[in-house]
Structure 1
Amino acid sequence: MMGPRQEAQPALFYEFSLEDHVPPDHLLRSIDRFVELSGIRAYLADFYSHTGRPSVDPELLIRMLLVGYCFGIRSERRLCEEVHLNLAYRWFCRLDLSDRVPDHSTFSKNRHGRFRDSELLRYLFEATVARCIEEGLVSGQRMAIDASLIEADANKQNSTPKEDWDARRIDPADAPRAVREYLDVLDEAAFGAASEVQPKFTSHSDPASQWTAARKGPAFFSYSDNYLIDTDYGVIVDVEATRSIRQAEVGSTRTMLERVKARFDLHPERLIADTAYGTGPMLGWLVDRKIAPHIPVFDKSGRADGTWTRADFEWDAENDQYICPEGHELKQFRRNYSDPNRGPTGKGTVRYRALKEVCQVCPSKAMCCPNADARKITREEHEDARQVARDIAKTEQYAISMKLRKKVEMLFAHLKRILGLNRLRLRGPCGANDEFLLAATAQNLRKLAKILPALQQPRNA
């Protein structure tokens, strides 16, 4: 028999509990156990006025932002709507049914003001890393680093070619916020000072972003999101925003390693990365700090004509010379110079030469130097560190490290496909840094929730 028509009849009184309507296996229940925000009010105390109207609770704003980044809600306007409608979101944000959700404009006012001035988002991210260390998910022994391009909120139609761009003509007083931030970072190694080469195009709306075609497709403006992770469980221990060029990405490695050493006393025994990080200065910096570089060497000494390369020559460190496969010596100097200007150049490279009369009668000249009178080999300043990396590449541990490096790539895939961070919504270096920090915080919280889920309470029969 068909039942009666269902009609809404408002009751005079309701007995309703959000706690009872959030499923025990909901992701936010597990995440909530690892979100400790009781200290942010004291952290932000100096950035609030002692007079005026009471502000929106900063803990509420942070909880809402965490919901947005954990569930890929990119728009803050839409985030406010979702928190208004979703019971689990209200429960996580400590909002009752009758509590009003803050207006979306509140986020912009706090982000551009006290949140950035206090570096609150960096504080929140590092608090999450500290919790991961406390839970035993970070050992600090093996770390990996990589960078991923994130498209900036800019387009080519609103840009200027490099021959017409002159930052000196910009008046900071009349410039938008993102342009003022660009002027502030012109001398920073992660942005303006990373390279003397000017980009082909510069965006008017976000000039700090980099015009790049690194994806082998249509070029676009972007920032690089740099992750330093602990390979035990894939926890992100540091994050940095830079220009999308190799020099800036490699330079961020030093910044992040020094920062995790200062903040968490983490000093890895090995660092895992791809070939882009295998430059001589980078490898030398790691070896000097007793960090084993599990990194392919960035080397252009190979030859395409089939003749002997530098790797075919044996290095004799004791006598400061190379030995060719025929047993002949290649020396830097064959006599002492009284004039110091004729000694080593001091430019980071030295050249070793064989004797002309030896090479001319050598039976292997066609395989060594067919188009030169004598063989010459250039040795860079950090060649010893390069050799350390080459020797590590022959070990079984190196093969394991190359597999562990994929954990960084998996985090970037999760960032773009699950959290939806394919394109930045905020502009400027500060905007990119804010989004990268919040996304990394959300990924670490989801990692904690997955590895250490909340205990489910049995339901009453």
Structure 2
Amino acid sequence: MRGTDERTGSLFSYVDLEARVRSDHPLRPIRALVKEALAGLERDFAALYSSVGRPSIPPERLLRAMLLQAFYSIRSERQLMERLDFDLLFRWFVGLGIDDPTWDHSIFSKNRDRLLEGDIAARFLSAVLAQPRVKRLLSSEHFSVDGTLIEAWASMKSFKPKDGSGPPGDPPSSGGRNAEADFRGEKRSNETHASTTDPDARLYRKGPGMEAKLAFLGHALMENRSGLLVDACLTRVSGHAERIAALAMIEAHADRPRPITLGADRGYDAEDFVNELRSMNVRPHVAQNLARRRGGSAIDRRTTRHPGYAASQRIRKRIEEGFGWMKAVAGLDRPKLRGVDRVGWAFTFAAAAYNLVRLPKLLAGAT
């Protein structure tokens, strides 16, 4: 007998979201890790909210929804709310019932911005790593550091002289919002120009012959045993930003009676950086920059002769996997945020999301 294509509504619904999500779904172990981490942030959340007034979106649900946005490469809050409205899996992960209404995308964004005030992203990253079963996976002696370019959400046309004067040949005002511009022959630098869209962004060229972009620099510290990111931050671009950030991140792990190691690429091969690491009881497993014209490499034979140096140079490249995931999947190739604080928050939160994606398999292999 042929079935009918007509849909009949029912008066009552008895949908159990817990039963709809299969027992071996990849999000189940991630949700358990997130639940434990968020429980440890209870006091931090309480400090951000007033004890009077109308209830807002619970911060736990905000963060779980933002994790889904990173996991599934959802480009905007509007699309996230649309997906949350019909996707039972999303509702289960966030903690919404089948009949609970979703939020307006603008309300969601305003509530999310409150989390910036409490530096919740960095604390969430630490809370995930502080769980006893996760902590057993981490190395406390061997680390790697690297930086990556994060393109700013600002057009090159917004990079204008600080004194307000425009270059000769500016298009007329009737050219519309996206009028044509010719930068040929114009000299622009961070000293004389700034972006009107994102003043925190700086013009930066990653290498010789490459185009300059308005960007930030993201920095991450990885432990070498499991390849998890244990620290992350974002700064304005400069010639010394990577080394300064590396020293700040490794300092928290250097307070040990035994020396630790720090692997890095040849961009960190500077005498002042290497000497500063040694003064902190950190062995600099930095790649040698043999092409340097003045003074040569700061890493000599007393470091490179050890087998651990070769191991650090091999493992340090795994940090690029984290950067690749954060950019290709979590949307950090060009985040739709402005300002070093907002972009930095998103960068650190994406590092926590990357760890959560990898942790279920790591934990399963450790049992």
TM-score range, shorter chain: 0.7 to 0.9
The answer for unaligned runs of 5 or more in structure 2 is 166-188
Q: Secondary structure at the match of 1:16?
A: coil
1:214: which partner in 2?
Answer: 206
CA gap of 1:453–1:300, structure 2 versus 1, over 3 A, is closer
| Displacement of 1:453 | 5.0
1:91: which partner in 2?
Answer: 92
1:378: which partner in 2?
Answer: none
CA gap of 1:202–1:227, structure 2 versus 1, over 3 A, is same
Superposition RMSD in Å: 2.7
2:47: which partner in 1?
Answer: 46
Q: Deviations over 1:34-70 (max 9, x none)?
A: 1122343432223322322122211111111111112
CA gap of 1:13–1:408, structure 2 versus 1, over 3 A, is same
Q: Secondary structure at the match of 2:230?
A: strand
CA distance in 2, matches of 1:266, 1:10: 69
CA gap of 1:121–1:266, structure 2 versus 1, over 3 A, is farther
CA gap of 1:44–1:419, structure 2 versus 1, over 3 A, is closer
1:430: which partner in 2?
Answer: 341
1:340: which partner in 2?
Answer: none
Q: Give the letter aligned to residue 148 of structure 2.
A: S
CA distance in 2, matches of 1:140, 1:240: 20
Whether the 8 Å CA contact 1:209–1:428 is kept in 2: the answer is yes
Whether the 8 Å CA contact 1:238–1:260 is kept in 2: the answer is no
Identity rate, percent: 32
Q: Secondary structure at the match of 2:54?
A: coil
Answering whether residue 236 of structure 2 is matched by residue 236 of structure 1, we say no
Q: State how many pairs are aligned.
A: 339
Q: Give the letter aligned to residue 50 of structure 1.
A: S
2:25: which partner in 1?
Answer: 26
Q: Secondary structure at the match of 1:32?
A: helix
| Displacement of 1:5 | 2.5
CA distance in 2, matches of 1:17, 1:206: 46
Answering whether residue 4 of structure 2 is matched by residue 5 of structure 1, we say yes
| Displacement of 1:133 | 6.8
Whether the 8 Å CA contact 1:140–1:268 is kept in 2: the answer is no
2:173: which partner in 1?
Answer: none
CA gap of 1:4–1:112, structure 2 versus 1, over 3 A, is closer
Q: Deviations over 1:209-241 (max 9, x none)?
A: 121221644322111110100011111010010
CA gap of 1:396–1:453, structure 2 versus 1, over 3 A, is closer
| Displacement of 1:252 | 0.3
2:362: which partner in 1?
Answer: 451
CA distance in 2, matches of 1:133, 1:259: 21
| Displacement of 1:295 | 0.7
CA gap of 1:268–1:438, structure 2 versus 1, over 3 A, is farther
Q: Deviations over 1:112-144 (max 9, x none)?
A: 33x222222221111012137744111221100
CA distance in 2, matches of 1:411, 1:450: 16
CA distance in 2, matches of 1:18, 1:266: 51
Answering whether residue 247 of structure 2 is matched by residue 248 of structure 1, we say no
Answering whether residue 63 of structure 2 is matched by residue 62 of structure 1, we say yes
| Displacement of 1:284 | 0.3
Whether the 8 Å CA contact 2:149–2:217 is kept in 1: the answer is yes
Q: Where do residues 45-444 of structure 1 align in structure 2 (5 Å cutoff)?
A: 45-113=46-114, 115-131=115-131, 134-161=134-161, 198=190, 201-214=193-206, 216-260=209-253, 269-298=260-289, 302=293, 386=298, 389-444=300-355
CA gap of 1:61–1:301, structure 2 versus 1, over 3 A, is closer
Whether the 8 Å CA contact 1:144–1:408 is kept in 2: the answer is yes
Whether the 8 Å CA contact 1:125–1:437 is kept in 2: the answer is yes
Find the structure with the greater CA-based Rg.
1
CA distance in 1, matches of 2:64, 2:194: 36
| Displacement of 1:96 | 0.8
The answer for unaligned runs of 5 or more in structure 1 is 166-196, 304-309, 312-382, 455-461
1:318: which partner in 2?
Answer: none
| Displacement of 1:261 | 5.4
Between 199-208 and 117-126, report the one with greater CA deviation.
199-208
TM-score, with structure 2 as normaliser: 0.84
Q: Deviations over 1:397-433 (max 9, x none)?
A: 3222211011111211122223232102111011111
